[in-house]
Amino acid sequence: MTRALVLIRGELSAVGLEIQVHGPDDTNAAAEANTDRLNLDIRDDAIDVRVFAAGAQTALVESVDLDGPEVTAEVIAVRAVEALRAARLLPSPAQKAPPPKPPPPPIAPPPAEPPAPEQPRVTPSPRVVPLLELALGPTFVQNLQGVPQVNAHAALAVGPKWGFVALGAEGSLTGLDFERRSGSARISRRTLFLQLGARVQLHRAWELSARAGLDYLHYGASGAAQPGYSAQDLQHDTGGISASVVGAYYFTRAVGVYLELGGLAAFDAARIRLADETVVTLDQPSFAAGLGVLLGAL
C-alpha cells in the first residue's frame, strides 16, 4: 500500500499538484476542506478510493478489486488520479453560480394621450324676427257648395318675435260660377281683415303661428237669365270672423315661405238663388288654404 501511495503522489506531482499525506487520526485533515482530498479505504478484498474536490462534501468513489488478476500499485495509483481528475471536473458547491440576470425593467405603457379638449357646443341662436313682415300668395277658398275659388292674398304683420297684429286683404281672381236651366250667376268676393296672432320658433328656420280676427266681406253677383226669367246684379256687405294656423320656413332672416290653413264664418251670409233654388251660401262657413312668400324688414 505504501508503494501505491508513493505512485499516487508521483502521478499527482507530475501534473503539478503538491501532495500532503495525513493519517486517519490527523486533525489537520479536516481543516483542509478547501483543498483536493483523496482517501483510501482498505477492505479485505478491495480498496475504495474516495476523492473530494476542493470545497465538496460528497466524495467520488472509485473501487479497486484486490482479487483482480492485474491489480498492482500502479493500477491503484492510476485509478486514484483519474478519479481526482473526474472529481475536479464536477461543479463545486463552493463555486458561486453567476447571479441571475436581473429581470428586465417593466416596459412602461406609452403615456396616454391627453383627451382632446371638448369643443364647446354651439347652440344656434334663434332667428331674429323682423318687425315688419309681408305675406303674398294665392289662397284657395272652398264654400260648402261649388268649386274652390282662387283669391289673391296680401297681409302685413307688425310685432315682436312672440306676437303680431296683421292687416290684410283678399280678392277673387276668378269668379265663382253657377249655372241652372233658369240662367247663370258669377260671384266675386273681396275681404279685409284685422287679426291678432302669436308665434313660436320650432327651429331657427321653422316657425308656427296662430291668428284670429275680424273680417269685412264684400260680394258682387252678376247673372244671365234664360227667356222667361229676369237677372239682377247684386252687392252684399257683411262682417265675419276668421282664424288660421300658419307654418313658415325661412331661408334667411327676412325671406321665407308659408303655408296657411284657416276658416271664415260670415255674420250675414249671402245666398245666391237661381229661380227657386239656393245654389250657394257664401262663407257659411268657408275654408281656405294658402301658400306664398314672406318678406321681412326692420
Q: What is the CATH number of the domain that holds 251?
A: 2.40.160.20
Our count of domains for the chain comes to 2
Within a domain: 107: no
**pLDDT recorded at residue 93:** 54
**pLDDT recorded at residue 69:** 67
DSSP classification of residue 98: P
H or E segment at 168?
strand 163-172
Nearest-angstrom CA–CA distance, 147 and 185: 14
What SS3 class is residue 81?
A: helix
Contacts 24+ apart (CB under 8 A), 242-245: 242/193, 242/195, 242/212, 242/213, 242/214, 242/215, 243/210, 243/211, 243/212, 243/213, 244/195, 244/210, 244/211, 244/212, 244/288, 245/208, 245/209, 245/210
Nearest-angstrom CA–CA distance, 209 and 201: 9
Residue 264 contacts residue 288 (beta carbons within 8 Å): yes
Report the range of poorest mean pLDDT among 47-51, 155-159, 265-269.
47-51
Within a domain: 102: no
Within a domain: 119: no
Within a domain: 219: yes
For residues 76 and 141, membership in a common domain is answered with no
For residues 81 and 154, membership in a common domain is answered with no
For residues 137 and 81, membership in a common domain is answered with no
**If pLDDT is split at 50, 70 and 90, which confidence band does 165 have?**
very high
Within a domain: 203: yes
For residues 192 and 80, membership in a common domain is answered with no
Within a domain: 147: yes
Within a domain: 69: yes
For residues 150 and 258, membership in a common domain is answered with yes
What are the tens digits of pLDDT across the range 168-212? 999 999 888 888 888 888 899 999 999 999 999 988 899 999 999
**pLDDT recorded at residue 194:** 97
Identify the residue with better confidence: 23 or 210: 210
**If pLDDT is split at 50, 70 and 90, which confidence band does 54 have?**
low
**pLDDT recorded at residue 225:** 85
Within a domain: 117: no
For residues 279 and 169, membership in a common domain is answered with yes
Q: How far from the centroid of its chain's Cα atoms is residue 206's Cα? A: 28
Domain membership of residue 291 as a residue range = 132-297
pTM: 0.56
For residues 217 and 71, membership in a common domain is answered with no
- Interacting residues of 232 by C-beta distance below 8 A, sequence separation 6+: 223
Nearest-angstrom CA–CA distance, 31 and 213: 128
For residues 146 and 279, membership in a common domain is answered with yes
For residues 161 and 273, membership in a common domain is answered with yes
For residues 291 and 144, membership in a common domain is answered with yes
Phi and psi of 29, rounded to 5°? -65, -40
Nearest-angstrom CA–CA distance, 68 and 3: 18
For residues 150 and 234, membership in a common domain is answered with yes
